[in-house]
Chains A and B, each alone.
Chain A
Amino acid sequence: MSTPETPAILPFETPVADLESQIRAMKEREDATEWVEQIRALEESREDVLRKLYAELSPADVVKVARHPGRPQTADYINNIFRDFRELHGDRRFGDDPAIITGFGRVGPFKVLVVGHQKGRTTEERIKCHFGCAHPEGYRKAIAKMKLAEKFGLPVVTLIDTPGAYPGMGPEERGQAEAIAVSMKEMSGLQTPIVSVVIGEGGSGGALGIGVADRVDMLEFAWYSVISPEGCAAILWKEANDTTNAQAASALALTAKHNLANGIIDGIVEEPTGGAHRNVAEASERLERHLVDRLREVTRLNPRTLVDRRYDKFRQMGTANPQAS
């Protein structure tokens, strides 16, 4: 599951693409060694342009970055961050959902259980994973393994990356809603630390189904919202097109900054210049450092205190007039 060498160019990235093709052309010249200075200058201006572009991305552009085909996924982070990973399969009820990966792994000094949505990279993988849209058995597998982690005192790390839970006949027959509800209910009382990060898409209940954690953070260009901008536009604007999708993306306050301001997340993990897809190794290093820091924070507390604080954290979310007492 490697990242494509030349990531797909997003519409707002054309200035970068031009510079990149110039750099490539120079590097391919036979006398490339003569052009080192010029190449370095071009690379610097590329960094500059990228930094500026990514500093003022619109919410709609953030959604595009979060969905970039080269963006690192759970399986990439597992490869790059977690040592001695032992995947655990199956919900012991119906099947094994590849859209949610679970397993034991080591990060820094910690032994943890990793749970994460997986979208898949190749067409075949993506179809198998339903593009990261989990079925009920995915949520049931997740909570079953989390109970295992609780039993053996292992902290849980969840990586959220889904457009939403899968809307299909099978999932409805097998209780998609019940699976998500039970997962949230069980997570709220799980007597072991839980650390979550939205690494790409945080689509609705399908995301929150593995997101009831002691610490919830987002990568800088991830999104997290009650519904996708397209779904929202189709319902409230009566039509999903580029214009209404962009309006919905803004209205939904789905970026990491917005979610932080609204008290939904605890922090933002910065991505490499130009997004995680431009430098998967660096993105992985940053995420690893972040996870180790968060794990240090939460493993200091005893499980009972953790559960009480986790309750209070979600209990306080939302606003009402007069203010909640």
Chain B
Amino acid sequence: MAGTPRTWNDADVGTVTRKKPVPEGLWLRCDGCGSILFKRALENNLGVCPDCRHHFRIAAPERIAQLADPDSFVEFDADLTSEDPLSFVDIKPYTERLEGARRKTGTNEAVQCGTAFIKGRKVVMAVMDFRFLGGSMGSVVGEKIARAIEVAAEEDLTLIVVSASGGARMMESGLSLMQMAKTSAALARFDQMGGLYVSVLTDPTTGGVTASFAMLGDVILAEPKALIGFAGPRVIKNTIRQDLPDGFQRSEFLLEHGFVDRVVDRHDLRSEISSLIDYAGK
């Protein structure tokens, strides 16, 4: 993804303008503080609101451009696509949803994997893209993550996975579910051989992704205020019939309860990761 232009497409804008419409194009409203932000300025600030530090969701190409040394990312398995194994149709056929997601994102699936350098340290990187069917994990996402783990194992490289996902993809049902076992098993092997795995949790990371590779990092970093959990807040609310406290299932909540090592501002992510690689002696 070397040289990917840092532009925000319509989908990104769509997620941040739901309160009051802001004129399309150059400006958008911050979800965190309501400030009207100049888009270009927000991009230059890595998608972080300069006023309130709200971390906007960013697409996989932007994330890679932010984390990797310039032009160092070499993608693999970019051509893997879903087969629609169950011929799944809800109110729309799965194939149509896939086609729409491909058009919207310009990528084939909800994760991009490859090798890259971070401050000169070679890593394997898997970056999820929430724009692609909510970053959901079907067979292809599971397969790509498993291959990324195996490449890291074969080449003795640090593994970085940046998660952004609503969970396992319903349209591949049991096959999606099994990707949780597949990726966790691959990580068990990587762990046994002494590999370093840094899991980066971003908004949102929920369901079967949290309950598999996202929670299995040697070190788990989270961006501020990211929604991280197993069950979605709405499901929990409907089950217990109570309002959920402020900050429930946010990064800081997980830090407090011992499930995240560090909450890291997006601007510091690169140096955090490179420092961890040094400590692990990789």
- Residues of chain A touching chain B, judged by Cβ–Cβ distance below 8 Å, are 165-169, 171-178, 180-182, 184-186, 188-189, 204-205, 208-209, 211-212, 224-227, 231-232, 235-238, 247-248, 251-254, 258-259, 262, 264, 310-311, 314-315, 317-322, 324
Contacts and interface: CB of A to CB of B under 8 A. Distances in A.
A237 B189 CA distance: 39
B90 A181 contact: no
B184 A254 contact: no
A174 B85 CA distance: 36
B211 A176 contact: yes
Interface of B: 79-83, 85-86, 88-91, 138-140, 142-143, 146, 168-170, 172-182, 184-189, 191-192, 207-208, 210-216, 229-232, 235-236, 239-240, 242, 244, 248-249, 253, 257-259
Given A171-B231, A259-B174, 13 more contacts: A167-B235, A169-B248, A173-B257, A188-B181, A205-B168, A226-B208, A227-B170, A264-B175, A311-B185, A317-B175, A318-B140, A318-B175, A320-B82
A237 B179 CA distance: 24
A263 B240 CA distance: 36
Contacts of A315: 146, 182, 185-186
Contacts of B188: 185-186, 188-189
Contacts of B182: 314-315, 317-318
B215 A181 contact: yes
B11 to A, nearest CB: 19
Contacts of B259: 175, 178
Contact of B185 (A167, A175, A236, A314): A314
Contacts of A237: 90-91
A208 B180 contact: yes
Contacts, number: 202
A131 to B, nearest CB: 11
Contact of A226 (B173, B215, B253): B173
A177 B173 contact: no
A181 B239 contact: no
B177 A225 contact: yes
Most chain A Cβ neighbours within 10 Å, of B89, B184, B229, B258: B184
B202 to A, nearest CB: 15
A319 to B, nearest CB: 4
Contacts of B172: 226, 318
Nearest to B166: A235
A249 B179 CA distance: 21
B229 to A, nearest CB: 5
B88 A251 contact: yes
A187 to B, nearest CB: 8
Contacts of A224: 174
Most chain-A Cβ atoms within 10 A of its Cβ — which of B88, B187, B208, B240?
A: B208
B85 A262 contact: yes
A251 B169 CA distance: 13
